[in-house]
Structure 1
Amino acid sequence: MTYDCADVSVPRDWNNAGNGETYSIAMIRIRSSKQQGRIGSLLINPGGPGGSGIDTSVYLSFGEAFGGLPTEVTNKFDIIGFDPRGVGRSDPVKCISSEDQDESFAATPDPVSQADFDKLVALNKRIAGDCASKYGDQLPYFSTEQAARDMDSLRTAVGDDKLTYLGFSYGTLLGATYAQLFPQNVRALVLDGAVDPKQNFVEGSETQAKGFERAFTNFTNWCKATPDKCPISADPRKAVTDALSAAATKPVPGSDGRQATSGWIFVSVISSLYTESGWAKLADAIAELKQGNPKGVFTLADQYAERKPDGTYSNLFDANLAVNCADTNDAPSLDEVRRLQGEWRQKYPLFGGALAVGMLPCAVWQGGRDPYPAGAAKDAPPIVVVGTTGDPATPYENTADLASMLGVGHVLTWEGEGHTAYPNTPCIVNAVDSYLIDLKVPQEGLRCPAK
């Protein structure tokens, strides 16, 4: 493999491209020494928003033995990773202090008392104020639509007449937006782990609450069925909820000075549900926590939060906040958040209240808004939308909705667990690779087994 890096200059505001203000988009081209019959470039986005496409593409280039891209793909395409505007190496947004990050992740995920809720509101207002003070009028420029327009500049920069794209999770929203803006420039799009652009902010948050609750139930069922792999198999849900309750009054201290509060435990649960391999790690972490050892909890949580050993963070959640809130012009009021918190707690006991509270940052956001379009990709070629039946973060129901909205979408289903499907099983790999390489759309209604 050869690895070449470059930067592409793009307008800060595509609606006012002539004013001379620009951002620099960092990208990497990965080319196999065995490449033959090159088709073009495969642009990759890992999601987030806030995930580094450069880091993800380097990882995927390690090959199938490491869970990376199949050689059939790397032999035909240059792999192009990019950090979207505001992310990683591309003029990164950085406006949340490490101290505020720690406080945010450590906070009670579903505060019942008004005092605890108000404390979390104050924290989010402080963060919003810091971001507004630093970036001001730039904040709406970090929107998905602006980033999708950047992608067409990247297509031009690598010399492709048409875009071939692989987007995971939030990357499906970025790809869907591109397809609406530039349908004539699409060669092939794989959208894996669908976001439904038609959902409003509240609907999207509730869908995630439902997805995580279902994935957690799947974890508990696995736990009970494989007690040799799960030390909390007697009653996994109770073990987790007991750990959260105990942490509210007596959190276990960690070796780095942090305490394993209910917030950190909750983040570790979220982290573990993104992959089926995380289930055993969660079970071990909760069992060890009960014995006074929070190391497993912090390992899972820090992996999700991208918290480094020195206590600093990547800009994943700074960018996540900036993009999500720039995209959102229908965030609920504080009173509505509080009402939904109680309603969702009844429907989704472990995740409902917390996902309602998760809307607070955009409810108090001080930046301008620039919502993305939600419509058909008129005149675009067929687009493959991949869904995983046990996906917690982008629930399976979104898959058909996104395909239908685009008008040219074709659903490919993986009957598996975790977040996103490609390249997890031979069935999924064969279907996606045939589409990327030969433009062969998967058989209608194709459902790939878990293994």
Structure 2
Amino acid sequence: MPPSRLFRSTAAAAAAATAALALLLSGCSSGTTEPGGSGPASPGRSTEAGSGRPASDGAPLAPLPTAVPAALRPYYDQKLSWHDCGVAGFQCATMKAPLDYAHPSAATDLKLAVARKKATGPGQRLGSLLVNPGGPGGSAIDYLQQYAPQPAAVRARYDMVAMDPRGVARSAPVECLTDRQMDRFTQTDTTPDDSAEVGKLATAYRDFAKGCEEHSGKILPHVSTIEAARDMDILRAVLGDRKLTYVGASYGTFLGATYAGLFPSRSGRLVLDGAMDPSLDSRTINLDQTAGFNTAFTAFAADCVKKPDCPLGHKNPQDAGRQLSALFAKLDAHPVETGQDRKLTESLATTGVIAAMYDQGAWPLLRQSLAQAENGNGRGLLALSDSYYERDPSGHYANQMYANAAVNCLDLPPSFTGPDQVRAALPAFRKASPVFGANFAWSALNCAYWPVKATGTVHRIEAKGADPIVVVGTTRDPATPYTWAKGLAAQLSSATLLTYVGDGHTAYGRGSDCIDTAINTFLLEGTPPAKNTRCT
């Protein structure tokens, strides 16, 4: 089942799709572990039309005092011990951070993993550039070592740095289920047809939450985005930088904007690509994502029906959507073989389709996989689903999905508190997307059973006094709809909105010379793009 509010960078998603293609062509159907992370979001109305809902009228995020509290000074004064990572050119270290910022204690300190690749020139070193690929739950270190898109000119002038956020990958990772339990969880029906299936779905969410509490109860109350942003300020200090330079994608934009709100005087050149809007509540976020993925599917379908190999017919996107819904219904009744001990269920097929929506480069693979499924072979869609869930060929899951739920359920109150609220909201979700709406409505029930009460609230981020910030939005972005980029840019007092007119999730490093030149110039010279710049 796709978890709600999963936001991954395109680089990670595209890499996952490429891995799925390689596996498909080799006759294997397992996924691969990929960095980054954000996953299926939901489809619905056009992202450019706007959601028609007001932004939060609450107080903006308040900055923290500029002086470092005495209790935190040992963390800011620590020295990192760098060593070779085993990956060419990269060094690794471990940074200490307090588990609880309100009650720091060496006895409960977290050990956070950090990696860097030092600037080699030519040109004067500009400092450190921290990157985060999103998620929440994506490994920033994996992303840096394998997929970070920054070009040679930027890498030459900056030490490229990544830190796995608390609860993620190498940094005190949240753990919840065994791999076999996770296999069963991903196959749970998220379009229940009767009260018995609703009960099974609720039980799956309860069991997931219970597993997280049993295995990671100590850290669960302390994986919020605000705490992760405070960790970033410690890292900035121990790296010796007066201000933070940062490129964040997807959820990484929320992390970066939160940093700017908490530490505006230490906020340097920030790039927030595929932006999230902190002024929205969780239900609105899920509805907007539903709209975003519907927009992405419509673009895919419009392209597909023109292709001779399109398995969804050759009429129009609406008819293609009906054919895809019919395939899902068929799989709900009769899952198909995949060549291994897991059959392709409706839930896994839906996740596979959504995984391919992040980048149009995956569309040919999706056409092939849908055609296979129509003919009783679920291998291709299962490979896409596995890549999305970060399930490797041995059947082991990375911790991204566990960290994703832990952060999301702590950052905002749940979208729904029980099945009756989901039932009442189904018409709105189905209107947003006839194909995916019900799936995403029921998937948004996950935080209802979370063992830790949310500590975050809906708020605006103004970051008054911060240096210029570049917010990047893609007009047909499925996971972080364009309206969110406009919303965040309007809140941040020093932001400039840079628009990519096109498909896919995020824009930097995806082939637009206009986007890349604007961002590289900003990182190297500090000059943001002109107001209202639009790129293709």
TM-score, reference length from structure 2: 0.80
**Where does residue 41 of structure 2 map in the other structure?**
none
SS of the counterpart of 2:102?
Answer: helix
Question: Counterpart amino acid of 1:14?
Answer: Y
Within 5 Å, which residues of 2 pair with 1:279-428?
A: 279-334=363-418, 335-371=420-456, 374-424=460-510, 425-428=512-515
**Where does residue 247 of structure 1 map in the other structure?**
331
* Residues 79, 229 of structure 1: alpha-carbon distance in 2 compared, 3 angstrom cutoff: farther
1:183 to 248, 261, 264: 264
Deviates more, 1:277-286 or 1:18-27: 18-27
Is residue 2:255 matched to residue 1:169? no
Is the 8 Å Cα contact of residues 139 and 368 (structure 1) preserved in structure 2? no
SS of the counterpart of 2:270?
Answer: strand
**Post-superposition CA distance 1:175-226 (Å, at most 9, x none):** 011001000101111001111101001111111011111111111011123x
Relative contact order, higher structure (CA 8 A, sep 6+): 2
What is the alpha-carbon distance in structure 1 between the residues aligned to residue 285 and residue 494 of structure 2? 22
* Residues 109, 230 of structure 1: alpha-carbon distance in 2 compared, 3 angstrom cutoff: same
**Where does residue 6 of structure 1 map in the other structure?**
93
What is the alpha-carbon distance in structure 2 between the residues aligned to residue 229 and residue 192 of structure 1? 34
Give the Å deviation of 1:34.
Answer: 4.0
**Post-superposition CA distance 1:221-274 (Å, at most 9, x none):** 11123x146454525323422221110111111111111100110000110001
**Post-superposition CA distance 1:414-437 (Å, at most 9, x none):** 112111100121111000011111
Question: Counterpart amino acid of 1:117?
Answer: V
**Post-superposition CA distance 1:90-113 (Å, at most 9, x none):** 011111222332223212232232
Question: Counterpart amino acid of 1:349?
Answer: P
Deviates more, 1:423-432 or 1:97-106: 97-106
Question: Counterpart amino acid of 2:431?
Answer: Q
Question: Counterpart amino acid of 1:147?
Answer: A
**Where does residue 213 of structure 1 map in the other structure?**
294
Is the 8 Å Cα contact of residues 239 and 286 (structure 1) preserved in structure 2? no
Is the 8 Å Cα contact of residues 231 and 287 (structure 1) preserved in structure 2? yes
Is residue 2:526 matched to residue 1:443? no
Question: Counterpart amino acid of 2:504?
Answer: G
Give the Å deviation of 1:365.
Answer: 0.6
Question: Counterpart amino acid of 1:120?
Answer: L
* Residues 8, 137 of structure 1: alpha-carbon distance in 2 compared, 3 angstrom cutoff: closer
Is the 8 Å Cα contact of residues 414 and 447 (structure 2) preserved in structure 1? no
**Where does residue 15 of structure 2 map in the other structure?**
none
Question: Counterpart amino acid of 1:21?
Answer: T
What is the alpha-carbon distance in structure 2 between the residues aligned to residue 107 and residue 323 of structure 1? 22
* Residues 96, 405 of structure 1: alpha-carbon distance in 2 compared, 3 angstrom cutoff: farther
Deviates more, 1:235-244 or 1:197-206: 235-244
TM-score, reference length from structure 1: 0.94
Task: Give the number of aligned pairs.
Answer: 442
Is the 8 Å Cα contact of residues 336 and 345 (structure 2) preserved in structure 1? yes
**Post-superposition CA distance 1:79-100 (Å, at most 9, x none):** 1011100100001111122233
**Where does residue 75 of structure 1 map in the other structure?**
156
What is the alpha-carbon distance in structure 1 between the residues aligned to residue 324 and residue 190 of structure 2? 14
Deviates more, 1:406-415 or 1:392-401: 406-415
Give the Å deviation of 1:368.
Answer: 3.2
What is the alpha-carbon distance in structure 2 between the residues aligned to residue 361 and residue 422 of structure 1? 31
* Residues 207, 385 of structure 1: alpha-carbon distance in 2 compared, 3 angstrom cutoff: same
Deviates more, 1:276-285 or 1:47-56: 276-285
**Post-superposition CA distance 1:302-352 (Å, at most 9, x none):** 110001112220000010011111112254211212221343123321122
What is the alpha-carbon distance in structure 2 between the residues aligned to residue 70 and residue 42 of structure 1? 13
Q: Which runs of 4 or more aligned residues in structure 1 lie more than 6 Å from their structure 2 counterparts after TM superposition?
A: none
What is the alpha-carbon distance in structure 2 between the residues aligned to residue 134 and residue 92 of structure 1? 10
Within 5 Å, which residues of 2 pair with 1:96-175?
A: 96-175=177-256
**Where does residue 269 of structure 1 map in the other structure?**
353
What is the alpha-carbon distance in structure 2 between the residues aligned to residue 76 and residue 233 of structure 1? 51
* Residues 412, 93 of structure 1: alpha-carbon distance in 2 compared, 3 angstrom cutoff: same
What is the alpha-carbon distance in structure 2 between the residues aligned to residue 57 and residue 138 of structure 1? 25
